[in-house]
Amino acid sequence: AQSVTQLDSHVSVSEGTPVLLRCNYSSSYSPSLFWYVQHPNKGLQLLLKYTSAATLVKGINGFEAEFKKSETSFHLTKPSAHMSDAAEYFCVVSDRGTNAGKSTFGDGTTLTVKP
């Protein structure tokens, strides 16, 4: 079985300060992990993905995430928040086991960026 938990439903930061959005996953097989961003009234856009290559993954707009198997985590970070980063962020897991073909989404983290 696979599951994903986003540990914070809301995160608020000031512009120019670091961003940390936390995600823990559970998977019986080698997982693929993704972060997507959704701006208000828009579809979802891929930020970055981990598919068993390098454990530190760089994405678009300065975001990166580190796959830590021992901690079953895939936290999303950015050194300096920008106002345009305010959005909903989803962590997603997909594995090759009995859930093959399905992805499981976290409940989302709303990021607020204060001026």
Partner 1 sequence: NAGVTQTPKFQVLKTGQSMTLQCAQDMNHNSMYWYRQDPGMGLRLIYYSASEGTTDKGEVPNGYNVSRLNKREFSLRLESAAPSQTSVYFCASCVSSYNEQFFGPGTRLTVL
User: Does 58 participate in binding partner 1 (rule CB under 8 A)?
Assistant: no
Range in contact with partner 1 (rule: CB under 8 A) among 11-19, 36-44, 63-71, 74-82: 36-44
User: Does 102 participate in binding partner 1 (rule CB under 8 A)?
Assistant: yes
* Cα 57 from Cα 87, distance rounded (Å): 20
User: Does 105 participate in binding partner 1 (rule CB under 8 A)?
Assistant: yes
Q: How many residues belong to the site for partner 1 (CB under 8 A)?
A: 23
Least CB distance to partner 1 at residue 69 (A): 17
CA atoms within 13 A on the CB side of 83: 2
Any residues with CB less than 8 A from the CB of 110 and at least 6 apart, and which? 9, 10, 11, 87, 88, 89
